[in-house]
Copies of this chain bind each other. A is one copy, B any other.
Amino acid sequence: MVTKHKKISIKPTHKPTLKTMDKEFVRFVALGGLEEIGRNMMFFEYKNEILIIDVGLQFPEEEQPGIDYIIPNVSYLESKKDNIKGIIITHGHYDHIGALPYLLDKLGNPPIYATRLTEEIIKKRQEDFPNSPKPIFQIVKGGETHEISDYFSATFFDVIHNIPEGIGIIIHTPIGNIVHPGEFKFDYDINGKPKGLETWKWVGAQGVHTLMLDSTGAEVPGFALSERIVEAELEKLFRAATGRILVGTFASLLDRIGEIIKIAEKLGRKVTISGFSMQSNIQITQNLGYLKFQRGTIIPLDAINKYRDDKLLILCTGAQGEPNASLMKIANGEHKNIKVKKSDTIILSSSIVPGNERSVQNLKDNLSRQGANIFHYKMLDIHSSGHAPQEELKTVMRLIKPKFFIPIHGYYFMRSQNAKLAEQELKLKPEEIALTDNGLVVELHRGGVRVTDEQLPAHYVMVDGLGIGDVGEVVLRDRLALAQEGMVVIITTLGKQNGRILKNPDIISRGFIYLKENQELLDEIRRKIRGILSRIPQYQPLDADYVKTLIRDQIGQFLYNKTKRRPMILPVIIEI
């Protein structure tokens, strides 16, 4: 059963009286990303200046049927759009850039600070939204400092994520330096030693007031699986394959994709790419010089028949069982160029996003029914998450040594785990850690951090087709109710003068029971309605709302007694 998840209302636990309650402080608010995975957006405000970090979207869950995306609520920012001095984008994933086309106009189209690759990904997406304003970019690089406004400037540093050109930020503010490393994980050299620790040390050496850290991996013990190990496992599988190799992965896992193509080259296989989003991502990355292949390594899809099976590798989208993606089409025998062969080795190199288990199962079933050899990350170490787990988070804490800590990105439990890590590792007191929520205003004082009671609007804004925000709680509740038990529309035609029934009531129903096969029940409903109407006094003018309530209640109860189901009853009174 789909249930509306309610959030229990508990007052913020840590509300210290600051030792130095400065008159001046920086306000920090996350508009999304704190009570979900995705929809990442936050801002800093000081006097009449606002600086935004990320403008992401969230993919809908079972509770939001029919919804395309969920985007942050920017009503507070909209009212102050002249104050917005810039948007910093940490990397090119949709949960960090995806709401830009919907919100850029409302935010007054301020300059976007992003790396070259991130810029290109945003531009590419913007092509699908001709009505959204043309973004203005300020290209940034690790090591650079950009003056953003009178009070805010930012120094950028490179981080490793699973998309190239992820960037971390030291935000220089009037109360001190705030560090937001975006999303990251460590990469390891062949000896298993983490690379790039000196960058983190350097960041820490700048003097850090507050560190904000992604909590997505805070429940996961240990270190990330090294991409080097993932690559070695993939190479082993590739070497064992005697026919074609098909690899399904996320179109955004560009680092992985690059490595797969390199291994293919090493083994003398041509690579073809099936899936629009992956093709365009690879194109962008290649144009910027990130992916460097030999000429002729990548061949067009329709050329695959010119090569022997053991000289081919096919990269495809759809490892999550998405219905229209490439791998699903292949599995269902609907792909134009690719049919499954028994000699195929098919590798799913991505974890399963919760909610997709059944689709991925179906994908694996259909592929293996056709005799292919399937490998999934569960069976071998062929996936590594993009989010730093506990030991990496702790290492960053130790190297940055902030005075205060704000766990960001992820559900409350994940953030509370991250807060615990900070208590242990940084010896911070609970009042030196701000466990905030979406929309809550946090005051960053020189001498402390304080979660206030001030709540800005941060509820879901849903995108459905062309509508932004027009699908609200009522519509969603109706969708869920309709899905559970269906509905019955009962149309009663009455004489305006005498309230007499003019016509056998019309009944239509969907999602309840198949009425064509339940003529008897239909007849009973009609009899009931006649009964209800016959008991209404005729000497007074017809009260249509009253009649509707009677029908709704009595027919609802009758159907419940008969079936133990509660379809939505929609009575209509036609007065002639």
Measured CB to CB, the residues of A under 8 A from B are 1-3, 5-8, 10, 13, 35, 61-63, 65-66, 219-221, 323, 331-333, 354-355, 357-359, 361-362, 364-371, 374, 376, 378-379, 411-413, 416, 464-467, 470-472, 474-476, 478-487, 489, 491, 493, 502-503, 506, 508, 510-514, 517-518, 562-565, 568, 570, 572, 574, 576
Contact = CB atoms under 8 A, between A and B. Distances in A.
A527 to B, nearest CB: 20
A482 B485 contact: no
A6 B328 CA distance: 11
Contacts of A574: 491, 493, 503, 506, 574
Closest 8 CB pairs of A and B: A465-B564, A483-B483, A482-B482, A354-B357, A479-B511, A65-B483, A365-B412, A66-B484
A347 to B, nearest CB: 14
A576 B493 contact: yes
A478 B514 CA distance: 10
A361 B411 contact: yes
Nearest to A366: B8
A562 B2 CA distance: 30
Contacts of A470: 513-514, 517-518
A249 B316 CA distance: 40
Nearest to A352: B354
Contacts of A480: 483
27 contacts: A6-B332, A7-B362, A8-B370, A35-B365, A66-B483, A66-B565, A355-B357, A355-B358, A365-B412, A464-B565, A465-B563, A465-B564, A465-B565, A466-B564, A470-B513, A474-B514, A475-B511, A476-B511, A479-B483, A479-B510, A482-B483, A482-B486, A493-B574, A493-B576, A502-B576, A503-B576, A576-B576
Contacts of A416: 368
Nearest to A486: B479
Contacts of A472: 514
Given A3-B323, A365-B412, A472-B514, 16 more contacts: A3-B359, A13-B371, A62-B62, A66-B483, A368-B412, A369-B412, A467-B565, A470-B513, A470-B518, A475-B513, A475-B514, A478-B510, A479-B484, A489-B570, A493-B493, A493-B574
